[in-house]
């Protein structure tokens, strides 16, 4: 199977390599694309991008936290990523007295760098095709459950084997092309990562949710961290004795600037794409899934914004939460618009009809109809699952109650109940620091009202139906729950945990609390009524898609259909390349590919929080004291757009020029092109990046932290 798939892929790549700038390519296979990259202007070779025999660009790129990318920019472990990627760490260190979100933070020496709980970065050591080993023991005719069991067992054995190779290693085995291929990814993880610098949010988040996903953009979306290691450069837990990590490779920084048409190359960890999804899956997203999720998040955002505008403390508490909710909310809006504009459902239906006609009486006969039928069966369960996620799982007090209850453990043999006091104390501290009861209570009422309105009676949780009947409305239910629950009062929770004499009785008390009951009853409903169906149907879909994926490759190869295949993103290291280019989103409108500080001043408005820049920046602009960080027009460049294929997870990814030097940080996509997770349009899909010269300008002129620039290697 592996050899067959590889032959098909190589044939398709060779035949249709001229296709625009679409694609997220595996670095270990980049030799298959290097000729096209070089034809478009790239000056290095495949070994410079990915090598396990020598230092390469991959060794300067990290998976930052759980879903972003970062890059090394100095021999002292200095790391650059987006402001929004480091936002939660900046927020954790912020208080009313030290508001680093508002004022920014800059460590003027190593002693001032701030350690972060739970933050790690991972370097990819190597990736390799392990399809044969992972499918060892599987034979045609076996059930899907037997196949899954074989894959799971073989993956575990392989992972256990490779992580013994050195300190700090972790590994994953990932399915590509719906399980037609499997790759091993071996990482080295560093857990001592310290905050070095971040501009104020009025720079790092300039434009806020209004400008999010939009172009032109003027957001200084960057933050800086440093990786620490033990004296032997190995991963180690935080310690004052740790020293800055010495990287195998770090990026030189180009100050030469960018021009339209320049080659660009992105190296990062894209999160999730679905380029090969069936038309019925797209129809659900366009007509049902996204519109409902947009509406639910609009309700939450309006409630948060109302209270944030009334209190600086609440603004800080909910800044990260608001950003998290708003990000997908706005993306989904652009996604729906793009899907409709490109007539994606219709286009896919036409492809499927041609494929189905070709597949008659062959290996892939009936796969289109099978997938269609499975989506129809899945739809009501998928809708209920998404509503559960966007409503029940959005109630903060219930999530906290469930987490605190889980700190009690029951020995299955003896029945003895134990309690993790430290974990409980940490949960209490973390939750109440960033929780505001009126927001959570109002969200509860609004979301449960929508649940009642939109979930069909046959899919509703029995507990939910009883509570609504008991109280008459979601508003009255919210009033009762928040009044009765011990979790609504931090002092009561702390007193309860300190005064408990019997862990068994205390555990029972928490279980009977209305907030815990709410979380538990809905969880039982989801586990018994929703998840089994979605799991079963999705497993059948996975099996059908495995055939359809392989079928698409054979069809396109034999029928000479111009389609390039690359694996969907799954938060593994990928290469995407393209060039600097503007775009035309509408008739008589053309967007240039670069923005400058002039645009910041045009948007500056002290009356609007998201557009109120620091006075220091106004003064610098008035004096034109730009230092060495200007473009050919004498202005400071801020952002640029290019045709690179990116998605979530690419945030913070290095944008590299033809010489392999850093020219920017990827941080967003244009709103009109957010459908690129499903369908890529080279005419409209653009990634948005922060020009590295603006980063240097802020560090130098706004932060007065040129000691950081002294660590870097600048080239012109």
DSSP strands (E only) in 199-357: 223-229, 243-244, 253-254, 263-268
Q: For the residues of 271-296, what is the DSSP string, one character each?
A: ----TT--HHHHHHIIIIIHHHHHHH
- Residue 184 — φ and ψ, nearest 5°? -90, 135
CA distance 339 to 285: 9
Give burial (CB, 10 Å; 0-12/13-18/19+) of 527: exposed
Length of the chain: 716
Q: For the residues of 180-209, what is the DSSP string, one character each?
A: TEEEEEEEEEE-EEEEEEE--HHHHTTTHH
Q: Are 149 and 135 in contact (CB under 8 A)?
A: no
Give burial (CB, 10 Å; 0-12/13-18/19+) of 47: middle
Q: Omega of the bond prior to 216 within 30 degrees of 0, cis?
A: yes
Q: Are 24 and 574 in contact (CB under 8 A)?
A: yes
Per residue in 430-464, is it b (16+ CB within 10 Å) or e — as a string?
A: ebbebbbeebbbbbbbbbbbbbbeebeeeebbeeb
Q: Are 691 and 663 in contact (CB under 8 A)?
A: yes
Q: Are 399 and 448 in contact (CB under 8 A)?
A: no
| Residues designated as active site | 84, 221, 651
Q: Are 279 and 345 in contact (CB under 8 A)?
A: yes
CA distance 620 to 615: 9
Q: Are 575 and 581 in contact (CB under 8 A)?
A: no
Chain center to CA of 165: 29
714-715 vs 253-254, strand pairing mode: parallel
CA distance 308 to 442: 14
Q: Are 151 and 174 in contact (CB under 8 A)?
A: no
Closest by CA to 216, choosing from 230, 206, 229, 224, is 206
Closest by CA to 639, choosing from 237, 220, 287, is 220
CA distance 166 to 164: 6
Other C-beta atoms lying within 10 Å of the C-beta of residue 97 = 5
Closest by CA to 65, choosing from 664, 574, 709, 648, is 648
574-579 vs 589-591, strand pairing mode: unpaired
What 3-state DSSP class applies to 37?
helix
263 conformational bin, left if phi > 0, alpha if psi -120 to 50, beta if neither: beta
Q: Are 427 and 397 in contact (CB under 8 A)?
A: no
254 conformational bin, left if phi > 0, alpha if psi -120 to 50, beta if neither: beta
Closest by CA to 660, choosing from 62, 306, 229, 253, is 253
Closest by CA to 64, choosing from 99, 47, 88, is 88
Other C-beta atoms lying within 10 Å of the C-beta of residue 699 = 22
Give burial (CB, 10 Å; 0-12/13-18/19+) of 309: exposed
CA distance 185 to 179: 15
């Amino acid at each position: 199977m592996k050899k067959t798939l590889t032959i098909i892929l190589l044939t398709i790549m060779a035949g249709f390599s001229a296709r625009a700038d679409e694609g997220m390519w595996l670095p270990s296979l980049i030799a298959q694309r290097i000729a096209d990259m070089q034809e478009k202007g790239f000056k290095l070779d495949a070994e410079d991008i990915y090598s396990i025999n020598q230092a390469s660009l991959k060794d300067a790129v990290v998976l930052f936290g759980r879903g972003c990318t970062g890059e090394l920019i100095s021999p002292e472990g200095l790391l650059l990523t987006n402001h929004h990627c480091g936002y939660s760490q900046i927020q954790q260190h912020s208080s009313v007295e030290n508001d680093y979100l508002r004022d920014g933070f800059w460590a003027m020496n190593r002693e001032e760098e701030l350690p972060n709980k739970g933050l790690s970065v991972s370097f990819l050591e190597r990736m390799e095709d392990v399809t044969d080993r992972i499918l060892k023991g599987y034979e045609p005719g076996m059930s899907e459950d037997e196949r899954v069991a074989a894959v799971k067992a073989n993956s575990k054995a392989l992972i256990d084997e490779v992580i013994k190779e050195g300190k700090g290693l972790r590994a994953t085995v990932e399915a590509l092309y719906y399980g037609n291929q499997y790759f091993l990814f071996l990482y080295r993880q560093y857990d001592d990562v310290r905050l070095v610098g971040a501009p104020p949010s009025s720079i790092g988040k300039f434009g806020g949710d209004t400008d999010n996903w939009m172009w032109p953009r003027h957001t200084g979306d960057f933050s800086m961290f440093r990786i620490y290691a033990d004296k032997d450069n190995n991963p180690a837990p935080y310690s004052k004795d740790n020293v800055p990590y010495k990287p195998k490779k770090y990026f030189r920084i180009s100050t030469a600037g960018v021009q339209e048409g320049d080659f660009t190359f992105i190296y990062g960890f894209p999160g999730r794409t679905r380029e090969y999804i069936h038309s019925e899956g797209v129809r659900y997203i366009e007509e049902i899934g996204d519109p409902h999720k947009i509406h639910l998040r609009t309700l939450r955002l309006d409630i948060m914004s109302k209270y944030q505008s009334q209190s600086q403390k609440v603004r800080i508490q909910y800044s990260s939460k608001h950003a998290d909710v708003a990000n997908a909310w706005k993306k989904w809006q652009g996604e729906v618009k793009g899907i409709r504009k490109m007539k994606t459902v219709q286009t896919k239906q036409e492809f499927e009809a041609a494929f189905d006609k070709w597949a008659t009486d062959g290996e892939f006969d009936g796969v289109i109809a099978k997938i269609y039928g499975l989506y129809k069966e899945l739809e009501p369960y998928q809708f209920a699952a998404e509503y559960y996620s966007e409503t029940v799982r959005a109630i903060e007090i219930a999530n906290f109650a469930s987490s605190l209850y889980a700190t009690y453990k029951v020995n299955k043999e003896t029945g003895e109940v134990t309690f993790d006091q430290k974990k409980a104390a940490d949960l209490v501290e973390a939750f109440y620091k960033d929780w505001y009861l009126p927001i959570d209570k109002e969200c509860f009422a609004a979301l449960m009202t929508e649940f009642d309105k939109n979930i069909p009676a046959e899919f509703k949780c029995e507990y939910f139906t009883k509570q609504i009947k008991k109280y008459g409305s979601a508003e009255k239910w919210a009033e009762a729950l928040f009044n009765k629950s011990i979790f609504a009062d931090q002092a009561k929770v702390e007193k309860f945990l300190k005064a408990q004499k019997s862990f068994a009785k205390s555990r029972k008390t928490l279980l009977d609390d209305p907030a815990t009951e709410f979380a538990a009853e809905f969880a039982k409903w989801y586990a018994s009524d929703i998840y089994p169906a979605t799991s079963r149907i999705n497993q059948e879909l996975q099996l059908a898609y495995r055939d359809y994926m392989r079928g698409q490759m054979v069809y396109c190869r034999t029928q000479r259909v111009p389609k390039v295949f690359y694996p969907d993103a799954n938060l593994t290291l990928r290469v995407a390349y393209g060039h600097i280019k503007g775009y035309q989103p509408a008739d008589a409108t053309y967007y240039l590919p670069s923005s400058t500080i002039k645009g910041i001043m045009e948007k500056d408005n002290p009356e609007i929080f998201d557009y109120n820049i620091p006075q220091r920046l106004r003064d610098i602009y008035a004096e034109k004291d730009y230092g060495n960080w200007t473009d050919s027009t004498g202005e400071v460049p801020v952002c640029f757009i290019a045709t690179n294929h990116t998605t979530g997870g690419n945030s913070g990814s290095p944008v590299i020029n033809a010489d392999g030097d850093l020219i920017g940080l990827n941080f967003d996509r244009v709103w009109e092109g957010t459908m690129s997770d499903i369908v890529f349009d080279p005419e409209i899909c653009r990634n948005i990046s922060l020009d590295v010269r603006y980063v240097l300008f802020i560090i130098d002129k706004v932060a007065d932290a040129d000691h950081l620039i002294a660590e870097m290697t600048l080239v012109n």
